[in-house]
Amino acid sequence: MPLPTWPTFPSRRTVLYGLAVALGVGMVALTGEALVRARLDESLQRASTRFYARPPVFQIGTRVDPVALGRYLERMGYGRTGRSRVGVGQYHASGGRWTIGRRAFRVADRLDPGGVVTVRFAEDGTERRLMVEYAPLEKIA
């Protein structure tokens, strides 16, 4: 019957080699993660972060509740301004006339440059006139 063997402990050299390899693998993993995060953060900053499930549709003769339209614009991050000239992400409401400074956004492979939308409502809330200017806001305002 053979005698039981005692476990042998690794030498210092083996332990040091193992630590060096583990440190090298860890550094490569952390560097790769940092590069991936940097590229993802850059692409996410350029992309729009909102999904528009039900955008308002303006058509002549459509009945629109001005209070609901204001709430919708506020939820989408548009700010109300007291000036009649609006910038990107702003809107101005005066009486039955609304001026909205649309943001640029990407749809599939094309870029919608945004622009100014002017909507005029009749007394009963129906849309009377719609003017859409597709020029960039910097040139309009």
pLDDT tens digits, residue range 56-113?
Answer: 777 777 777 778 888 888 988 899 988 878 888 899 988 778 888 888 777 777 777 7
Give the CATH number of the domain where residue 70 resides. 3.30.2060.10
pLDDT in the model for residue 7: 66
Domain assignment present for residue 102? The answer is: yes
Note whether 87 and 135 are same-domain residues: yes
pLDDT tens digits, residue range 19-48?
Answer: 999 999 999 999 998 888 877 766 555 545
pLDDT in the model for residue 141: 43
User: Assign residue 22 a region: left if phi > 0, alpha if psi is -120 to 50, beta otherwise?
Assistant: alpha
Token pair listed for 91: 């809107």
Domain assignment present for residue 3? The answer is: no
3-state secondary structure of 25: helix
Q: Determine the Cα–Cα distance for residues 115 and 102; give it in Å rounded to an integer.
A: 5
Number of structural domains the chain divides into: 2
Using 50, 70 and 90 to split pLDDT, how confident is the model at 129?
Answer: low
Note whether 37 and 76 are same-domain residues: no
**Residue ranges making up the domain that contains 122:** 66-140
pLDDT in the model for residue 27: 95
Report whether pLDDT(135) > 50.
Answer: no
